[in-house]
Amino acid sequence: MAGVESMEIDNPPEAGGESSKPKQSSGESSKKSGTYELPWIEKYRPTQLKDVVGNEETVSRLSVFAREGNVPNIIIAGPPGTGKTTSILCLARALLGPSFRDAVLELNASNDRGIDVVRNKIKMFAQQKVTLPTGRHKIIILDEADSMTDGAQQALRRTMEIYSKTTRFALACNSSEKIIEPIQSRCAVLRYSKLSDSQLLARLLTICEQENVSYTDDGLEAIIFTAQGDMRQALNNLQSTFQGFGHVNSENVFKVCDEPHPVLIKDMLQHCVNGNIDEAYKIMAHLWRLGYSAEDIITIIFRVCKNHNMAEYLKLEFIKEIGTTHLRITEGVQSLLQMAGLLARLCKKAATPDNLGQ
C-alpha cells in the first residue's frame, strides 16, 4: 500500500518491504542518532536480545543459545516486522562479539542465492578459517529463505552437514512450509507471532518520547490499527506521519497510510445494523470516489467489524458475508455494485424478523 515510505529519508531502503534492511546492520546505526534522515526502524533496531519485544518464550530460548553457545541450525518463521532478522543479528552478535564482521555471512533475498551461490559462496565462507572462542561457530544467515528456489535449498542440505563442525545456519522466513522438509528436519524451527497491540504501543510511546513526537492517543491507536502487529510498519508509519505533518493524529495517519478511515467504515456498518441501506451506500460511494479499491475497503470492513459493538450472532453473520464478498473480489469481481450488494445483504441480515427482538 502506498505511503509507507518515509518522506524525508535520503536513502530509503524500500521502507516497509520485507527486504527493507540495508545489508550490514550491525548496530552502528544507533551512533548516528540525531540525524533525522535515519529511518527509525534502523535507529531503533534492538541490538540485544533482551530488547526484542514480544514472543518472550522464543526469544528466551535464543538467549539461552547466546549464553551457552550451543546453537543448532535454526529457522525462525513468522509474519513480517516481528523481529526475525533482528533477533538473528542479536544472536550472532551475542555469540561472536568482535568477530561478528568476519564470522557472519548474511545473504538476503536481494542477493543472488541460486544454486551456484550456495555451492560457491557459502562453501568458500564455510571453509575459511576464522579464530573463534571455543564452542562458537561461524554463522550463515539466510534471510527471507522462503524465496530461495527449491534447487538452491536442495544444494544447501548437504552443505549444512558437511560444514557442521565450523558453521551454523540461521534462516528467517515468513512461512516455514516453503522451506523443504530435509532442511526443516536439520534445524530447530522457532515460531514468531504477530506483536500485540500493547507491545506495539509500548514501543511507540518510547520512541515518541525520544524523538519528541507530538501525538494524540487516537493517532497512536490509528498507527496500531494500520500496522496489524507489524512493528516495522508501525515505526515507518509513525515516522512518515510525523515528518509529513509534524503531528500524529488519526486524521494524518490515515492520510499517510492511504487506507479508508475506519470511523467511516464503522458508521457504515452501524447503518447496516440499523438496516439503513441509503446511508450506508452513501459512505460506500464516497469511499469509492476517493479511489480506494474493493480490496482495500473489504479488508478494513472486516477489521472494523471484528471489533464492532453489535449482537454476537449478527456479527457472525456479517463476517460470513464479508468473507464471501472478499472471495468474490479476489476472484476478480471488484465493482461498486459488488460492494453495494454486500451492504444490501448486511442490511437484510440485520432486518430479518428474528433479529427484531434484539
Which residues are at the interface with Mg ion (CB under 5 A)?
85
Q: Which one of the spans 62-70, 108-116, 229-237, 315-323 is the region binding ligand ADP (CB under 6 A)?
A: 229-237
Residue 68's Cβ-side half-sphere holds a number of Cα atoms within 13 Å equal to: 9
By beta carbon distance, the residue nearest Mg ion is 85
DSSP secondary structure letters along 181-215: HHHHTTSEEEE--PPPHHHHHHHHHHHHHHHT--B
DSSP summary character for residue 51: G
> Closest approach of Cβ 333 to Mg ion, in Å?
35
Q: What is the 3-state secondary structure (H, E, C) of 94-162?
A: HHHHHHHHHHEEEECCCCCCCHHHHHHHHHHHHHCCCCCCCCCCEEEEECCHHHCCHHHHHHHHHHHHH
- Give the Cβ contact number of residue 160 at 10 Å: 19
Query: Quick one: which of 156, 207, 231, 265 contacts ligand ADP (CB under 6 A)?
Result: 231
Query: Quick one: which of 53, 126, 222, 272 contacts ligand ADP (CB under 6 A)?
Result: 53
Answer yes or no whether residue 77 interacts with ligand ADP by CB under 6 A.
no
Nearest 5°: the CA angle 86, 30, 38 is 90
Query: Quick one: which of 4, 38, 41, 280 contacts ligand ADP (CB under 6 A)?
Result: 41
Within residues 79-118, the interface with ligand ADP by CB under 6 A covers 80-86
Location of C-alpha cell 430479518: 352
> Closest approach of Cβ 268 to ligand ADP, in Å?
33
> Closest approach of Cβ 144 to Mg ion, in Å?
6
- Give the Cβ contact number of residue 324 at 10 Å: 12
Answer yes or no whether residue 176 interacts with ligand ADP by CB under 6 A.
no
State the number of binding residues for ligand ADP (CB under 6 A).
22
Q: Which residues bind ligand ADP (CB under 6 A)?
A: 18, 21, 41-42, 44-46, 52-54, 80-86, 172, 203, 231-232, 235
